[in-house]
Amino acid sequence: MAANKDDNNKNNNLKLNLERVEKIEHDAIESYPYLASDEKGSTLKNAQNLDEIDGIEPLTLNNAINQDYNNTTNVCVTKNVSIHNNYTNDNAKNSRVSDHELPTEEVKPWVHFVAGGVGGMVGAIATCPFDVVKTRLQSDVFQTQYKSKIADSRNILLHFKETLGIISSLYRMEGFRSLFKGLGPNLVGVIPARSINFFTYGTTKELYSKTFNNNQEAPWVHLMAAATAGWATSTATNPIWLIKTRLQLDKSSVNGIRKYKSSWDCLTSVIRQEGVLGLYKGLSASYLGSIEGILQWILYEQLKMVIKQRSNKTEAEKSNWDKAKEWGARSGGAGCAKFVASIITYPHEVVRTRLRQAPTENGTLKYTGLIQTFRVIIKEEGLASMYSGLTPHLLRTVPNSIIMFGTWELMIKLLSS
């Protein structure tokens, strides 16, 4: 009886051991593909913890698996690597399509401030002669002198020819320095104006997107940031632009004496004769003119998005030539945005110039407000006069924007690196 009992116990233990071995083998076969997959793939299924199996060392089992299923390992690893690569490539393609939905790389505010000032300075120096011609054509002081026989012509080439003719006439009659008249106060205005504009736009765009749009950019975010930047810039720099306008319209009398000797003389004369508020004449037109800056920023951002979407390479894959081409395309996009915005909003430029010019009629100011100035100009000179000086304005602002935004981007990359 005792012998039979021992035999039964041995048989039962052997059966249990065989069942345990079969269970281990079954679990090992099922779990191994997941153990052989990459890091991300291993999270797809929770394999059974082998430590929970009594009497089996995990290291021993792993060694057995490596020997018994070596071929299976190679197949699984190859398959998972292939799937992982396809997944990565698909994500890269999708990221290029939806980059505009992701947070943009943050740039320090002081970088925007410095880069904007440098860009504005370079653009202003390069296009100053066109600014002088534009200001004179907008003014009624020089209207008789520059009265054109082709003023009503729709031939753009004739307008370009006339503009270049006026520049040539300025050079012959008043000298080379006359082409850069008002450049001093212009630079004094441009550098802080562009610094403030780019600084305010970059800072408020980041603030609005983080606060109101889950750190995502959107056209309405660009709209609000551009409006804030335009109003801040106009308020801060209006006195400088008023002085620049007065100097550019100051022509010599018969005996060669000018009204203003310098920028400082112009500033003190305005404060003395018109008060501090006299420095803010034309501010209402400047606020209206901020619409131009708003349109330009919105169009520029949309063109940047289109250029980015058209690229079929990641930043790491782009060569220096690819990056240079995209930089040129973005700079050209800034010029196109300025061209469209200027055409739409140009009449405010004429009104602003007249308000800053402050001409008198019978001892009283001829232009007293924004709406009144619009009415007087259209009544006396016709609707076409609201576009006086448009050609030199475009010849100045379009290349100015290309130079300014291109320089701004270069300075950002330089200062950020």
Are 147 and 267 in a shared domain?
A: yes
Which residues, in sequence order, are CB contacts of 235 under 8 Å at separation 6+? Answer: 283
Which domain does 200 fall in, by range? Answer: 108-416
pLDDT score for 410 = 92
SS3 361: strand
Domain boundary among 52, 67, 95: 95
Tens of pLDDT, residue by residue, the chain (417 residues): 555 656 666 667 777 777 777 777 777 776 655 554 444 444 444 444 444 444 444 444 444 444 444 444 444 444 444 444 554 455 444 444 444 444 455 788 899 999 999 999 999 898 888 888 877 776 655 555 555 544 445 555 666 677 777 788 888 888 888 888 878 877 887 899 899 999 999 999 999 999 999 988 899 999 999 999 999 999 988 888 888 888 877 765 445 577 888 888 889 999 999 899 889 988 887 888 788 899 999 999 999 999 988 887 787 888 889 889 999 999 999 999 999 999 998 888 888 888 877 778 887 888 888 889 899 989 988 888 888 778 778 888 899 999 999 999 999 989 987
Model pTM?
0.62
For residue 91, tell me if it sits in a domain.
yes
Are 146 and 59 in a shared domain?
A: no
Burial of 151 (0-12, 13-18, 19+ CB in 10 A): middle
Are 402 and 349 in a shared domain?
A: yes
For residue 176, tell me if it sits in a domain.
yes
For residue 314, tell me if it sits in a domain.
yes
Domain boundary among 68, 95, 122: 95
Domain boundary among 63, 95, 127: 95
Residue 363 vs residues 1, 284, 359: alpha-carbon distances, Å = 139, 23, 9
Are 39 and 143 in a shared domain?
A: no
What tokens appear for 238 in the block? 């209006």
| Amino acid, single-letter form, for residue 182 | G
For residue 150, tell me if it sits in a domain.
yes
Q: Could you give the number of structural domains in the chain?
A: 2
Residue whose token pair is 């249990």:
16
pLDDT score for 108 = 86
Q: Closest by alpha carbon to 407, among 115, 201, 202, 106? A: 115
Are 286 and 387 in a shared domain?
A: yes
Half-sphere exposure of 106 (CA within 13 A, CB side): 10
For residue 232, tell me if it sits in a domain.
yes
Are 83 and 153 in a shared domain?
A: no
Inter-residue contact 111 to 416 (CB < 8 Å) = yes
For residue 260, tell me if it sits in a domain.
yes
Please list the residues that pair with 361 across neighbouring strands.
364
Furthest-apart CA atoms within the chain: distance in Å: 145
Region of residue 256 (left: phi > 0; alpha: psi -120 to 50; beta: else)? left
What tokens appear for 375 in the block? 């009415």
Which residues, in sequence order, are CB contacts of 102 under 8 Å at separation 6+? Answer: 95, 216
What tokens appear for 400 in the block? 């100015």
Are 22 and 115 in a shared domain?
A: no
Burial of 133 (0-12, 13-18, 19+ CB in 10 A): buried
Are 256 and 347 in a shared domain?
A: yes
For residue 100, tell me if it sits in a domain.
no
Burial of 396 (0-12, 13-18, 19+ CB in 10 A): buried
Are 134 and 266 in a shared domain?
A: yes
CA pair distance 235, 237, nearest whole angstrom = 6
Residue whose token pair is 């106009």:
234
CA pair distance 148, 28, nearest whole angstrom = 93
For residue 297, tell me if it sits in a domain.
yes
Are 195 and 236 in a shared domain?
A: yes
Are 72 and 118 in a shared domain?
A: no
Are 39 and 153 in a shared domain?
A: no
Question: How many residues would you count in the chain?
Answer: 417
Q: Closest by alpha carbon to 61, among 42, 75, 47? A: 47
Helix (H) or strand (E) holding 305: helix 283-310
Written as one string, the DSSP assignment of 393-409 is HHHHHHHHHHHHHHHHH
Region of residue 275 (left: phi > 0; alpha: psi -120 to 50; beta: else)? left
